Amino acid sequence: MTRIKLCGITRPQDIEVINKINPDYIGFVFAPASKRYVNEETAAALKKQLSLTVQTVGVFVDETPSIVAELLNKGVIDLAQLHGHEDETYIHMMRGLTDKPIIKAFRIKSKDDLINAQGCSADHILLDAGAGDGAVFDWDLLSGYSRPYFLAGGLDPSNVGEAIKRLHPYAVDVSSGIETDGLKDPIKMREFCDTVRRFIT
């Protein structure tokens, strides 16, 4: 069954909608360069309002391992998603600081990128086109790919059904595809979740 991750959550009103539509994961972006950036205090406050059935993912770009681990160990986030140049040495360092799950993101431009992702020691991998820019990569590259993955990049309510039907990913991850004018749109959020569930039932 394909899981659902709604990323780039920033506001209490987003949490109100999330508690009603009940995705599997939501994402807090801790990368200061992102327009969806939240700090620890905001993320912690939002998590307090969140249903216990939804897990929180912290998205980081080349952050110091101890900072990532602290947020995990405090319970501000349940999983860490590494979206920068973090390598196996970095992941090994994280293993010494926390036992919480790690997702490593890969930008997919060729089969070589998929080979690199296949061998990653993270608990999960995420396959993306870029960095939250709403682009879709060539899904044909995933033909025959065996490792379970989070699928990201350009997903929205209009194409996520096709993605599930063709690829059967472990999870689908959306951010800009459920926004209007740069803010999370309750109608699109609900439509995305409804579409996923329609295609996996």
Select which of 7, 156, 173, 193 is catalytic: 7
Phi first, then psi: give them for residue 2, nearest 5 degrees: -70, 130
- Looking at the DSSP bridge assignments, the partners of residue 183 are 180
Instruction: Confirm whether 193 is a catalytic residue.
Output: no
For residue 157, CA distances in Å to 88, 177, 199 come to 34, 7, 12
Number of C-beta neighbours around residue 191 at 10 A: 17
Please identify which of the residues 14, 24, 128, 173 carries the catalytic annotation.
128
128 is catalytic: yes
d(CA 164, CA 2): 7
Structure tokens, 76? 């501000």
DSSP 91-103: HHHHHTT--S-EE
Task: Tell me the catalytic residues.
Answer: 7, 128
